[in-house]
Amino acid sequence: MSVHQELTNALRAYLGELTTIARQGDAREETHYPSLKTLLEAIAHARGKSVQVTVLPKKTDAGNPDFRVWDGAHQIIGYIEAKAPGAKLDQIETSKQLQRYLHTFPNLILTDFYEFRLYRHARLEMTARLARSLIPKRLKTQPPLEQGKELLDLFETFFSFVMPRSFTAEDLARQLARRTRFMRDQVILTDLHEEESSQQAALHGFYEAFRKHLIANLTKKQFADLYAQTITYGLFAARTRAQGQFNRTTAFALIPSTIGILRDVFQFISLGKPSVQMEAIVDDIAAVLNAADVQAILTQYYQQGKGDDPILHFYETFLAEYDPETRERRGVYYTPQPVVRYIVRGVHHLLKTRFGLADGLADAKVTLLDPAAGTLTFPAEAVQLALQEFSSSYGTGTKETFLRSHILPHFYAFELLMAPYAIGHMKIGLLLEALGIPLQNGERFQFYLTNTLEMEDLQQIAIPGLSSLSEESHHAAKVKKEEPILVILGNPPYSGISANQNDWTEELLKTDLDGAQSYYIVDGQPLGEKNPKWLQDDYVKFLRFAQWKIHKAGRGIVAMITNHSYLDNPTFRGMRQSLLKTFDEIYILDLHGNSLKRETAPDGSPDENVFDIRQGVAIALMVKHGDPQKRGVYHADLYGLRQAKYDWLESHTPETAGYRLITPESPYYFFTPRLTQNLQAYLSWPRITEIFPVNSVGIVTARDGFVIAFNKTELQNRVLQFQNLQGLPDEVLAQAYDLKDKAGWSVATARKKVQADVNAQSKIYPILYRPFDVRYIFYHEAVIERPRPACGA
């Protein structure tokens, strides 16, 4: 029998099965699955292709498409989404569900079992209608073949899909980001909500461990985000160590035994029993990584010896595609290498000149910590400079001994987010291999998954397979509480609404902890600010942590790039006085670039930020050495275009930066140059708040996406949902309307207040949004939070 005849017979047999199903009269969509699976396998076999077709059970619209077609080992060929015979594919094509699939999976077929549509990279490439679905449904007879050849051509194109091997780091990050987002939203969250499955129990074990022992108030949605990123970056880390073909089941063996948390996760993903949906999407991510030449992407940088490290870009590119809001909320930003090198060179210089350590970072007395390490950018640069200093002074023959006697026991790093934690371990491993001193079995860089601003030391976790989480916490807690650190450096997160809120952090800021003056006190008196919320910014808390550690140690250096608002904002005057009391020398390099203030260079030319953010930044080098002869605050400005700033930072050190001595004075203690000779006369004048004792911030709303609607009926329905009369869970409501819990407000508490208010519906008012544009607002104090008279109410 010829191949053509074999294929034609397969199509006729398929139509015969569909006709038999139609005659039964009560068939569901799933009833047709075995027939399509048999057809796919028959066509592939006739074409000499080795494929496996897996039906992916799906109780809701969440999850993967209905069929996965793959070679059974390394290559995902594509997916098929099937709808009931006669379904209107034109409408389904524009649905949110299918758009998610098209955006995630580059080779996808949509079908109603009679008509087939093939999409490549979200674009419709081919269509073919095998027969008309109405004939078996109404006439109960087998329909004739219509476009058999076209359908076979469509399947030939579908089966021929191959992942490209020419991924750049950016392309690979985007491909992984799309699948990771899909895994987060459509797979992990669904599995978490399936209360009775064995997979549910396993996932909930991880969820409970992370919620209780790492991130307080962790929601299921946040856990799904953390877990999805962990899987992807764990696979990425494992892929860098793979010599041959790579897949989900081989990943576990490739993750170093010293990175216990990743091993715990992959024990379940690779060797355990995840859901079929989870297996499918993880296999898909592994297939992308298997197709990409990861080693070539990473090796290229080290061979060049200069330029941009793809690992540094990788996480930022991934996160920008994966979830820009998470990137913004956590203040995660790639730190440009010129900034990193300037700071690390500055630390190296100060260790030599202020502490008499001739070898700088290479001195055995140096202990170093990055408390918000991300992908280990700063520690990696410090390791390289220390090795360079050691080799130039003592030769390269004993650098391996130097690594194991100094770097590994004395350099530390902390990180809260799992994705950069995973890739940071990978990065330092690759770096040391490139330097000719790879980590040996049982060795690890002391990079711990922990919340720097949480002091509780976890007890042994009872959940099987997650003992490593308490182990990490225990080691990190010892460094936080006991280890004297000489150098604390890095780029802490900037976030006006801090994600780090706990009792210890509040005590750290508001009390004279271990003798370090509170940030809420100035000249011995309370700060007196009505709304000192900017002191809750994450970077302020990390600076305070660093100050506290150095204050306890009695000497040391803090070297960080942060938001520059604390330099002259009056709210930070207590913080500035506190830093002045702790540190003997403070060097401020204001890099400006504040587009929020529309900053320009002094000559009127453009001024750009060194980051892709609007908030201006500054580098602070703060030194506590105890020498009364070397005291003062020094300031320098750097304006201009971004590349010009990079070039300047590469070619200068703190010695050549042009710092000028300034004299911070009471009551503001500005860390910027000020003309203060007439300050007391100025302060004697009446204040604005004295002249205008009654004041207001004006009309204030909050959560506009929920409380404002185009028509009253729509808003009334939202209020009913908010009152929980329809059994809608808090998490679903929050996701639907982008409602986020924060200090002093939560969805759950607000819902209870609205539900208890029998007059809640009466608080819907019309507002004049623009001329001739009337909308409606739900003006309830439990949701608006700070009610003001509503315009037009």
- Which tens digit of pLDDT belongs to each residue from 515-541? 789 999 999 999 888 778 888 889 999
What is the CA angle 444-445-450, rounded to 5?
A: 105
Which of these ranges, 78-82, 199-203, 320-324, 683-687, has the smallest mean pLDDT? 199-203
Confidence of residue 619 (pLDDT cuts 50, 70, 90): very high
What pLDDT shows up at residue 613? 83
Confidence of residue 59 (pLDDT cuts 50, 70, 90): low
CA atoms of 757 and 662, how far apart (whole Å): 58
pLDDT digits (tens, 9 = 90+) for 719-771: 888 887 656 778 778 877 888 887 678 888 889 888 888 888 889 988 876 66
Work out the burial of residue 672: count CB atoms within 10 Å of its CB; fewer than 13 is exposed, 13-18 middle, 19 or more buried: middle
Q: Supply the angle between the helices 169-182 and 276-291 in degrees, to the nearest 10.
A: 180
Report the share of the chain in percent with pLDDT over 90: 42
The residue extents of the domains of the chain are 3-159, 169-329, 337-662, 704-784
Instruction: Give the other-Cβ count within 10 Å of 717's Cβ.
Output: 12
Strand segments, DSSP code E, in 416-483 are 446-449
pLDDT digits (tens, 9 = 90+) for 86-131: 899 999 999 989 999 999 999 999 999 999 999 999 999 999 999 9
Rg (CA), the chain: 31
Distances from the Cα of 3 to the Cα of 44, 45, 160, 356, angstroms: 11, 10, 17, 83
What pLDDT shows up at residue 492? 93
pTM, entire model:
0.76
Q: Give the chain's mean pLDDT.
A: 85
Q: Which amino acid is at 147?
A: Q
Query: Which residues lie across from 114 on neighbouring strands?
Result: none
CA atoms of 373 and 451, how far apart (whole Å): 11
pLDDT digits (tens, 9 = 90+) for 139-161: 889 999 999 999 999 999 999 88
Work out the burial of residue 218: count CB atoms within 10 Å of its CB; fewer than 13 is exposed, 13-18 middle, 19 or more buried: middle
Cβ within 8 Å of residue 674, ≥6 positions away: 662
Q: Which of 59, 68, 65 is nearest to 193 (CA)?
A: 59
Which string of b and e fits 734-757 if b means at least 16 CB within 10 Å?
Answer: beeeebeeeeeebbeebbeebeeb
Q: Which of 97, 124, 94, 90 is nearest to 108 (CA)?
A: 124
In the Cβ-directed half-sphere of 575, how many Cα atoms lie within 13 Å? 27
Q: Which of 778, 760, 776 is nearest to 724 (CA)?
A: 760
**DSSP assigned state of 77:** E
Stretch 678-700: mean pLDDT = 72
What pLDDT shows up at residue 306? 36
Judge whether 3-159 and 337-662 match in fold.
no
Tokens at residue 225, please? Answer: 């985000």
Token look-up 């209107």 returns 88
Architecture of 3-159 per CATH? Answer: Alpha-Beta Complex (3.90)
- Please give the order of strands across the beta sheet that includes 76-82: 52-55, 67-70, 76-82, 107-111, 115-120, 123-129
CATH homologous superfamily for the domain 337-662: Vaccinia Virus protein VP39 (3.40.50.150)
What pLDDT shows up at residue 333? 61
pLDDT digits (tens, 9 = 90+) for 156-176: 999 988 887 677 777 888 889
